[in-house]
Structures are given as structure tokens and as C-alpha cells.
Structure 1
Amino acid sequence: MTATTEAGVTGTSTAVNPVLRIAPASPAAAAAYFGASLAFHADVSDVAAALAAGGDPGFLVLDSRSTESWDQGHVPGAIHLPTALIPEQAEQLLDKSVPVVTYCWGPGCNGATRAALALAELGFQVKEMLGGFEYWAREGFEFETWEGRERRTADPLTAPLDAAHCGC
């Protein structure tokens, strides 16, 4: 790669593109990784669509946050089970034959990951809902609070405003 220095001298650059500093994985390794990722994660739009379709979606949604957080807002129909209580209460509240989708606050919180780990260690099939409650609310899906149901206008940076879905 050639580059021109501040002094106007052209020569070979030793700077490495930060994106390619570590080479991309082979296509086979990438397919294995991304395929596995989809086995571990669901996004809020897919969870909302499955719940809105009516009938049994084939999974349960589990909110792993504190009671105060739950009261502030949660996915309608979700089960409330804080992560710390999973080891002692999950087997009484949940059916191991039904997959569980965990969520916590949002992408900056790994509470849903910790909850998913605790459930998997008990023998439950589990996925983590990417974006958590933050993206549920930001994408404009209805949620419940201790005062009733609410819905916020979708954030145009997280959801299409004039379409039913993003097309991905």
C-alpha cells in the first residue's frame, strides 16, 4: 500500500487497516459461528412477532430483573424470575420441555446471559433476547407496568417507521 506523508513523500505504508488487522474467518468458520449465534439468540422483533401471532409461540419469555425493574415495565406475558432466584425456583415455575427466552435491561447488561446460563445449567433449552427490555420499548412494542399497559413511539434508529418489519 502506498501513502503520502505530511511532507509529500510517497512510500510504502506500514499502517494496518484496523478492520483487517485480524483477518476475517474462513467462510466455513463464519457459517458455523453465525449459525451457532442464531441458536443462542433471538431479537425483540422476532419475539414480538411470535407472541403477536396468537396461540402458543412454543417458548416462554423470562424477565430476569429485579421486582423494581419488572414494575417499571416488562414484556406482556413474561414470567418474572430474577437471576439470583433461578437455581431455587426455576424447576417449580418452568417446564423443561418448553424453550425459554431470557431478557434483562438492554445490550449494556449481561443479566439475560447470566440467567440463560443458570437455566442451561439446570437443563433448560434457552435463548437470550438481544436488546432486552430497552429495545422492546424502543421498537414500539407494548409493555406492562405496575400501572397498566404502555407503548412508546418506535425510535427510528431501532425500527422502521413505515413498515411492519425491517426486512432482515
Structure 2
Amino acid sequence: MSAPLRIGLVGCGKAKLAHAAPACQLYTGSLFRGALQVASARCGVNVMVLSAKHGLVPLDVCMEPYELSLLRLTRCQREAWGELVMNELEWRFEVPEAELLVFAGAPYVDALRSRLPVGWTLVEPLAGLQIGERLAWLARERAALCAGARVEEVARG
């Protein structure tokens, strides 16, 4: 049996450009940038942004800057947000098994976890880490990924 499809989900950030831009460029914070790099290295093209305002956003979709966090939503609104995101994930990927690598805060993860389809799992690499610890973990992960890429280049000659 083949391995489940790996999908990277990167939580939006408060720091944004002052103008419209593709989702992969709109968010400018170090945590978002680092998580995007790690998610892209681990999941290839199967990476999307979790936006408090827009739900699931492909990296190339252009958006205006906005101010909204899931923390500002009621529990009922967060549940509806999670249902919307999971429905779209199932629709976009149409696979019986998937592994979601979620690089986002607890409100985003909690809104998704209870709605996972059978055969889908959720991995939260940054769980329990404070902001500084998250940044350090992402920096170590990026360094390891770069070192691995360099080893592969040398092996290919």
C-alpha cells in the first residue's frame, strides 16, 4: 500500500504586506516564512495557507491584507471555519489517506482535528512550543533540510 498523501498547512500571520499579494508572499513574519519553507520541503506542491478570514488558500492566490485571528471568533464560528477547511481539503485532494502537517497555532489545529476524515491524520510539529522555540525548531529543520539537499547533490556528482 502506498504512503498517505502529505499536505502542508501553514497558519496565516499577523505581519503582512500593506498591499495585495499572493498568499505565499502576503505574510511576512519569521514564523510564517520558516514554516512555509519547511512545509514546502516536506510536502512539495501540496502546501496551502490556513487563513482566519479566507479558510484554505492556495499559495498563488492573491489576497488583500486583513486583520483577523481565529482567537477573535466564537467557538461556533471556529467550528464552522474548521468544517469549511476540511471540506475543501477533501474536495481538493480526493484521497482516502492523507497526513496533514499543520504549522499553526492551537485554535487552528483544534478547529481541524475533530473533523478529520477516516484515514486522515494530523501531525503538529510545533505543538507545545513557544514562539522562540518554534523559530529555533524551524531554523534547525531548515538547516537539516539544506544539509540533506547538499548531500544528495554531492552523491549525484
TM range (shorter): 0.3 to 0.5
More helix by share: 2
Structure number with greater CO (CA < 8 Å, separation at least 6) is: 2
TM-score scaled by structure 1?
0.36
